[in-house]
Amino acid sequence: MSSVLLIDAGNTRIKWALARLDAAPGHWQADGVAPHAEMDRLAAQWARLGAARALVSNVAGDVLRDAIAAALPKGLAVEWFASSPARAGLRNGYREPGRLGCDRFAAAIGARALAPGQDLIVATCGTATTIDAVTADGRFLGGMILPGLALMASSLARNTAQLPQVAPGAAPPPLFGDNTDDAIVSGCLSAQAGAIERAVAGHGARACIVSGGAAPFIAPALKVGHQVVDNIVLVGLHAAAIAV
């Protein structure tokens, strides 16, 4: 069975995986991650994989798209993943389906593949945090977009006099911080967790999947049942590739 190269090009990093088309979504033969600036290293890695085709989700613009295209092995069949009215068993309920971010559509496909037949919430916590709802019968309803955890903290520091820049750490602070740094982190974590919890309650979701670089920081603050999944966009791309 042939293998497909899956690529998730986000605003700060490029994540990739090599997957067989007869494997369950999320089971990779190889995977990796690199910042945009390390395209030469990615090109060398991808050249050694022997993939038959590539499926690419890119939300970082045309310049990065061109760089990825140049880095892919010559002759490789490439599909640039885009949101569509329906794919891989998921119906896109966005008012204009094509305007839904392709990473959000892929994440929803991936979440449905991992939790089929359930009303679910999928939260992807990166530069931005997106929180989307999928119905048990496979309809993407829509969602929320808010600043990501680090962006929220940096915006507060940048626009408020005398507040320090705080990098959220692995150990959550007390709910009511007794110093400014802890108070900022607690407030940002509470905002992120509160939005996810509100989405779960409003949708009546039976499943909540949390992914993204900030997921390890946000998940411990959640008061609802959830599953942390690495690279949910790649899981969705894998499910979409299998369904073709």
* Residues forming the active site: 103
Which one, of 106, 150, 105, 145, lies nearest residue 129 by Cα? Answer: 145
Tokens of 88: 């891989």
* CA dihedral over 119, 112, 233, 215, signed as positive or negative: positive
Euclidean distance between CA atoms 200 and 206, whole angstroms: 8
Distance CA 235, CA 31 (A): 12
Alpha-carbon distance values, 42 to 3, 177, 232 (Å): 17, 42, 20
Tell me how far apart the alpha carbons of residues 32 and 141 are, in angstroms, rounded to a whole number.
31
Helix (H, G, I), strand (E, B) or coil at 14: strand
Runs of H (alpha helix) within 1-160: 39-47, 62-71, 102-114, 149-159
